[in-house]
Amino acid sequence: MSVKLIKTMLVDDHNLFREGTKIILERESDIKVIAEAVDGIEAVNMAIIYNPDIILMDINMPNSNGLEALRKIKDLGVKTKVIMLTSEAKREYIIEAIKIGAKGFIQKTSTSKNLIIAIREIDSGRNYLQPSLARVLTQVSKVKLTPDHNLEKIDLLSKREYEILLLISTGYNNKEIGERLFISEKTVKNHITNLFKKIEVKDRVQAVIFSYANNIKSINN
């Protein structure tokens, strides 16, 4: 039985980074780099031509940056999933990328293992936010979002659901949440399903955005 290849495109203005990333990815039997681009303008054109499953795209590039390219790719209706790469963990970049439609966000300093996990997670239909970046969203910063105080939704949450939402927002996975709260992983998943319905989000990334926008920082708030 043949392995489904995840067709991937690399977008970065540094040749050495693209070459190194390609070598790492093509060690995996299920990932194939089918195209490369050096800036946002070329990325849009190549996305139309090659229609990759996944695009790994740097945010900071000349001519047209990654966010601009992401917006154009979405506007054109290209059915590809974009993972944004950055050397800087700037919260405004993360927020903007997710709002436009990025399916993942990962730092260039991350491990190759995390990058491969992100590609597979996103190709299978899930989103991926590097845990350390999830924590960045909740740290004190001068960056401000337009307030979105969904107080009625927050009031629907039980104390346990609020605790779990807080832990999701600080980058904990289900197993870690269960260990921290002394409950089973299955119970954690049930709570997450219920709280996602109450705050009307589809996944963990949206939950992180909701938490940050509504200043959810402490169970005592």
- Span 11-57, pLDDT tens digits: 999 999 999 999 999 999 999 999 999 999 999 999 999 999 999 99
Residues 107, 170 share a domain: no
Quick check: is 191 in a domain?
A: yes
Residues 47, 119 share a domain: yes
- Mean pLDDT (the chain) is 86
Tokens of 140: 């004190």
Burial class (CB in 10 A: 0-12, 13-18, 19+), 131: middle
∠102-105-110 over CA atoms, to 5°? 155
Provide the number of structural domains found in the chain.
Answer: 2
CA separation (Å) from 221 to 47, 153, 204? 45, 15, 21
Q: Is the pTM of this model over 0.85?
A: no
Residues 175, 113 share a domain: no
Residue carrying structure tokens 């200043």: 215
Distance CA 104, CA 208 (A): 13
Residues 23 and 71: beta-carbon distance below 8 Å: no
Quick check: is 145 in a domain?
A: no
Report pLDDT for 24.
97
Report pLDDT for 26.
94
Q: Which residue type occupies 171?
A: G
Report pLDDT for 135.
67
Q: For residue range 69-82, what is the model confidence (pLDDT) as tens digits?
A: 999 999 999 989 99
Residues 156, 133 share a domain: no
Residues 133 and 110: beta-carbon distance below 8 Å: no
Q: For residue range 165-191, what is the model confidence (pLDDT) as tens digits?
A: 988 877 678 888 999 999 999 999 999
Residues 97 and 103: beta-carbon distance below 8 Å: no
